[in-house]
Amino acid sequence: MAEKKVKAVILAAGKGTRMKSNTPKVLHEILGKPLLGYVLDNVKNIVNESFVIVGHHAEEVTEFVQKNYPYGKTVLQSPQLGTGHAVSMVCPELETFDGTVIILCGDTPLITETTLTKFLEHHNFLNSDITVMSAIFDNPANYGRIIRETDGSLKCIAEEKDASANEKAVKEVNAGIYCLNWAKVKEIFSHLSNNNAQGEYYLTDIISEGKKLNLKVNAYTLENNDEIYGINSRINLAEAAKMINNRKLKNLMENGVTIVDASSVWISEDTEIGADTVIYPSTYIEGKNKIGSNCKIGPCAHIRGGVEVDDNCKIGNFVEVKKAKIGHNTNVGHLSYVGDSEFGSNINIGAGTITANYNPLTKVKSKTILKDNVKIGSNTVLVAPVNVEEGANIGAGSVITKNIPAWALALTRSPLKIIADWVKNIL
């Protein structure tokens, strides 16, 4: 397969002052995934390399990218002198690159792969050198206006503070995402001026500079304005989370999953769920998971990521599951915790069962393995690392600290004492 001649530049250097947080804005999470992760995931099938421009808390953002995205690189912008300056930081990395560069913002988690693909196709179809993504708003206040030529190409972006009355009446605005024919556009970044009130180098200035060089400049109108919703505050973060969740729930229901109460259920974008599975109210599923068909999840279940649930399983009410693999026809009863575990098929986990997977002294997490046909009685603690072999039964109320052989019964109980008439005698 030929190498994709498309690379992404993602702007993620900002402080995010209005978040009022020690966490960099792009690392704030929605359903277990940072905002920057959404953007990187949505370009990964389009580009072969992504450059993340970092600045504020650069070490933290770099660590996240290096740990989770092998096709991603970070480039430091210090000091931060504007969006145009941010993109110029990647010029040395792309000195010999002859292809398309997509520029995005790291705080727009709702942008989709489908939209970015259409954007790129539009750019290529018009043989454009610079294409700006646009959106149409009934109330375009505070946005830069897209001003088009009579042939439909892009004339300029008029910032509201500089726009004429006629330009302010335009409802098409700059969405802040760009496609660039890099070989023709890269030189512009060395000629940008900071002769403005902020003393910054603006990315939007590449439009006017491109026109001076007789480059082909166009705009692509976005179909769904929600996709460019940017995060600048905790309020924005909450609204974006609702939009992402609603989009996911709708997709699941359209594909055969029953959501009993969509107003109380949260499911991450990276969770796959098979047809005829039922998700009961107040269930929260975050991170990356795979749930099979004909399962019942909840109510009030919490799946925390790294979970695989096979077909015909039940994760009961008030059950928490994390980093676990659960085989088909297995039931995990209510009020249980399953973490760092591997369960086989046809297992029954009684209510109140706990996999004690974490040693707070060594800070080591260990694994619990249950083979097929195991039965665990209620209020059992499985102290990892521990293996329970095929067909074994654990009596209710047991604390299991050793491996249990196949088809055995394991019990840890103090003898039952009955003292006759004890209550009467103390009255």
- Strand 364-365 and strand 358-359: the pairing is antiparallel
Choose, from 56, 302, 328, 334, the residue flagged as catalytic: 334
Among candidate residues 208, 212, 218, 192, the one with its CA nearest the CA of residue 122: 218
Return the structure tokens found at 119: 């954007």
Return the structure tokens found at 234: 């905790």
Among candidate residues 59, 47, 63, 60, the one with its CA nearest the CA of residue 10: 47
Q: Residue 138 class from Cβ within 10 Å (0-12 exposed, 13-18 middle, 19+ buried)? A: exposed
Residue 334 bears catalytic tag: yes
**How is 14-41 classified by DSSP, letter by letter?**
---GGG-SSS-GGG-EETTEEHHHHHHH
Among candidate residues 107, 204, 222, the one with its CA nearest the CA of residue 163: 204
Among candidate residues 80, 111, 82, the one with its CA nearest the CA of residue 8: 111
Evaluate whether 109 touches 28 at the Cβ level (below 8 Å). no
Phi, psi of 113 (to 5 degrees): -60, -40
Give the residue numbers annotated as catalytic, written as ranges: 334
